[in-house]
Amino acid sequence: MAPPKKSKKTKRDSKKLKKNRSASVVPTENKATESDWWDSFWQKNSISPGSTVPTDEEEGFKYFFRVSKKTFDYICSLVREDLVSRPPSGLINIEGRLLSVEKQVAIALRRLASGESQVSVGASFGVGQSTVSQVTWRFIEALEERAKQHLKWPDASRMEEIKSKFEESFGLPNCCGAIDSTHIIMTLPAVQTSDDWCDQEKNYSMFLQGIVDNEMRFLDIVTGWPGGMTMSRLLKCSGFYKLCEGGDRLNGNVRMLSDGVEIREFIVGGVGYPLLPWLITPYESNGLSAAMSDFNAVHEAAKFLAVKAFLQLKGSWRILNKVMWRPDKRKLPSIILVCCLLHNIIIDNGDSLRPDVALSGHHDSGYVEQCCKQGDPLGRTLRENLVKHLRLCK
């Protein structure tokens, strides 16, 4: 016997029901579940034998996620549309509820901040490993797109402020920033290994180069290149190098000193970089005059801003300081970029970087900076003029 035919009304009701069911799986903003994730997380993770978690809840929040609640809310506002509009795939916690945007952001930040395994991070939130993986990557994709304004080269007005601060702090006129590089260490499957990715310390690593301002804010980064390269080679492969060489960057106002000497815009970098008309490196340490030694000391102090920025970056976002287990080399640059964006967002929002999380020692512990012997005559002249200027200012 054939099944009875459905009436048109029954069909319409059936379609309407299916549509409602389909709509119900979209992660809508549920006010009843947005605040309880923190209470649950705090109760579960704040008290344990030998715990170093601050007893104050506000400080505890920064301990776990590196940002204040105010900055956390701002980050949520940046990625909310992307995390809500994209259909979920298994983003349901053990209580059978969809994860709120806030909880997704918290999971991602905790994964990046702690560098702990996905299993460990998931256990602290009551979700599975696959959920941590999916949530973290969704967050990375969203923030990479929505937070671009937090990592860009300054306009002329902002650059004048930066130069003024460098001169005030170090006596270096027209200095626009400090440059340094660090290795992000990883393991790779045998089929992906090559001499390019094997660096001087026999680690497989990816390079990250960054230029920072007086507040340790990243102004420009380059990543994705094999750690087996030299710093000078990395620089020359960067878009920043091409812009400078083409006269399209570090091309602002020339500074006229009291003795009539002109000083163009420049940045400072270590011995691993070439001495260029716009990149000033220190003198080699043998047979230096007192004036040269004084210059090296000032130069080192200014360059240390970049060192401190990387110490803070890799200390705050410890996923960059742990050996990454077989990361996707196509995705790793996005992870690195998002950590740099988060570093800048903290600074831009007036949120204090937690000094206790910074790495001690050096951000590339165990690596020796290889000296680059390349020197441009115009770079030498600029460095000599800076030496003279500092001597006259004493």
- pLDDT at position 370 is 87
Residues 164, 121 share a domain = no
Residues 363, 306 share a domain = yes
Over range 319-335, report the average pLDDT: 83
Last residue of a domain, one of 93, 125, 146: 146
The answer to whether position 177 is within a domain reads yes
Residues 301, 188 share a domain = yes
Check whether 91 has a pLDDT greater than 70.
no
Confidence of residue 324 (pLDDT cuts 50, 70, 90): confident
Residues 200, 59 share a domain = no
Last residue of a domain, one of 121, 146, 171: 146
Residues 134, 270 share a domain = no
Domain span at residue 93 reads 35-43+53-146
Residues 246, 360 share a domain = yes
Tell me the percentage of the chain whose pLDDT exceeds 90.
Answer: 68
Total domain count, the chain: 2
Residues 227, 132 share a domain = no
Last residue of a domain, one of 146, 176, 192: 146
Residues 248, 361 share a domain = yes
The answer to whether position 23 is within a domain reads no
Residues 134, 57 share a domain = yes
- pLDDT tens string 272-288: 999 999 999 999 988 89
**Between residues 209 and 32, which one has the greater pLDDT?**
209
Residues 207, 124 share a domain = no
Q: Please write down the HEC assignment for all residues of the chain.
A: CCCCCCCHHHHHHHHHHHHHHHHHCCCCCCHHHHCHHHHHHHHHHCCCCCCCCCCCHHHHHHHHHCCCHHHHHHHHHHHHHHHHHCCCCCCECCCCCECCHHHHHHHHHHHHHHCCCHHHHHHHHCCCHHHHHHHHHHHHHHHHHHCHHHCCCCCHHHHHHHHHHHHHHHCCCCEEEEEEEEEEEEECCHHHCCCCCECCCCCEEEEEEEEECCCCCEEEEEEEEECCCCHHHHHHHCHHHHHHHCCCCCCCCCEECCCCCEECCEEECCCCCCEECCEECCCCCCCCCHHHHHHHHHHHHHHHHHHHHHHHHHHHCHHHCCCEECCCCCCHHHHHHHHHHHHHHHHHCCCCCCHHHCCCCCCCCCCCCCCCCCECHHHHHHHHHHHHHHHHHC
Residues 318, 203 share a domain = yes
Range among 73-87, 88-102, 133-147, 365-379 with highest mean pLDDT value: 133-147
Tell me the percentage of the chain whose pLDDT exceeds 70.
Answer: 85
